[in-house]
Amino acid sequence: MINRYTDLIHQTFDFPQESFEMVDGYLRFNDINLIELVRKYGTPLKLTYVPKIGQQVEKARKFFKKAIKHSDYRGKYYYCYCTKSCHFSHVLDEVLAHGAHLETSSSFDIDLVWKLYSRGKIDEKTIIINNGFKTEEYTRKISDLINKGFKNIIPVLDNKSEIFYYDQFVDTDEYNVGIRVATEEEPNFEFYTSRLGIRNADVLPFYRSVLSQNKRARLKMLHFFVDTGIKDSIYYWGELKKGITLYCELKKICPTLTALNIGGGMPIPNTLGFEYDYQYMISEIVQLIKDSCKEYGIEEPDIYTEFGKYTVGESGAVILSVVNAKKQNDSEIWYMVDNSLMNTIPDSWGIGERFILLPINKWNNGFRRVNIGGLSCDNSDYYNAEVHENQVYLPVNEDDSDEPLYIGFFHTGAYQDALSGYGGIKHCLIPSPKHIIVDVDDNGKLTDRVLFPEQTAESMLSILGY
């Protein structure tokens, strides 16, 4: 009896699950017939399943709505999309179509805001939160939006001197600002305090001595972001509590303060064994804010989030062919794939990020432990561990079929394009894969189209001056 890959998956996880199922021996992802796509377009390919993005926005709203109702919470909830997690227009169009607001991170992000405006995707009422360390150019562009009548721009001060730029460049009678408070990093991190934001102990003195004296700037928002994400851990709850307490103390002396921004960091499945109770976490956050406000006798703030990965991560996948199985010693087999992992899923190399990894075909074959080798000649171009165990198992690829083994990394929709650079020159000149957009038409039927074909040698060589 062989131990089949399908048995391994069914014995290890609850399978099928929300986005993954097997139909006629092939994997489906959100009902997308992946083998059909692979046969139509070939590998390597990246795909974006657009409807998932809107579904995520709606899902989060529902969780907050329920939590707010349950706690009899008086503030409102605002969903902002953190554009840096994926700037593609099909992503922005989808989040905006679902009523999300925006968060920007850099000067060029404001150029993107203007593009969206000229296309009628946003208007002067859209809430746009501006984060990041601001260069003078970035503050000029933010000020320009305010001067041109955008009413809900909220530059979040990353340091105490940033306000002087707006003093100089904004010419309206009043404008909103926020303060980002620096959080303490997780105990095992290299630094104690995040470089982003104003240190906690300086926030109240800064408000008293500078902002409260400013005739035009109105402090509207306190912002903090626990970089390691919204987790049910002592560290997260401790940082959240500190942030809320600071909000309450600030509110006591700052009547214009009405908004608490808890940033991004909502996790998404990175293994089939992922377990996370979104409703529980959101309800606890809302209740914690409510209880603290009651204790301080203040009004409950509107709650803002800036979910990036949560919004767009689950929409993406990278599909590769296994082109060779190299046996390098008695126990190590390398499945060589047809693109670089460093280029296509750079977080797996840079920060050890894991993604859901599943074969598209050959689930009835036996399985074996493998290392996945990227096509570049870089020693670090490999993937050999999953979240639930420190190894990777995939089907044996030698069989009677003419079809190679296809594998997919799923939930890769956030950050990978921007970090890898889309187009441009690539590590070892291995081209960007083709990018396929999958959507649903008015009749609910899945459609697919090529956003970009596979990058050509010519496109790289011309950048290189040839």
- In the complex, minimum distance from the CB of residue 104 to ligand PLP, in angstroms, rounded to a whole number: 10
Q: Which is nearer to ligand PLP, 80 or 360 (CB)?
A: 80
82 binds ligand PLP (CB under 6 A): yes
Task: Give every CB contact of residue 54 below 8 A, 6+ residues apart in sequence.
Answer: 94, 95, 97, 98
Rounded distance, CA 8 to CA 369, Å?
12
**CB 68 → ligand PLP: shortest distance, Å?**
20
Exactly one of 307, 363, 383, 406 binds ligand PLP (CB under 6 A); that residue is: 307
CB of 132 or CB of 301, closer to ligand PLP = 132
Say how many CA atoms lie within 13 Å of 68 toward its Cβ: 15
* CA atoms of 366 and 410, how far apart (whole Å): 22
Look-up: residue for tokens 């894969």? 433
- Residue 316 as a binder of ligand PLP (CB under 6 A): the answer is no
Is the torsion defined by CA of 206, 207, 209, 214 positive or negative? positive
Q: Which is nearer to ligand PLP, 130 or 397 (CB)?
A: 130
Give the C-alpha separation, 134 to 128, whole Å: 15
- Are 257 and 222 spatial neighbours (Cβ–Cβ below 8 Å)? yes
C-alpha pair distances (Å), 233 with each of 186, 226, 358 = 11, 12, 29
Candidate list 43, 48, 85, 139; residue touching ligand PLP; CB under 6 A = 85
Structure tokens belonging to residue 193: 């305090």
CA atoms within 13 A on the CB side of 140: 4
33: its two tokens: 């017939």
CB of 85 to ligand PLP, least distance (A): 5
Binding ligand PLP by CB under 6 A: which of 54, 75, 308, 373?
308
Nearer to ligand PLP, 301 or 313 (CB): 313
**Residues of span 403-422 touching ligand PLP by CB under 6 A:** 414
CA-only gyration radius of the chain, Å? 24
265 contributes a contact to ligand PLP by CB under 6 A: yes
Least distance to ligand PLP, CB of residue 88, Å: 15
Does 131 contact ligand PLP by CB under 6 A?
A: yes
Listed ranges 18-26, 262-270, 418-426, 448-456: which one lies at the site for ligand PLP (CB under 6 A) = 262-270
Residues in contact with ligand PLP by the rule CB under 6 A: 82, 85, 103, 131, 225, 263-266, 306-310, 414
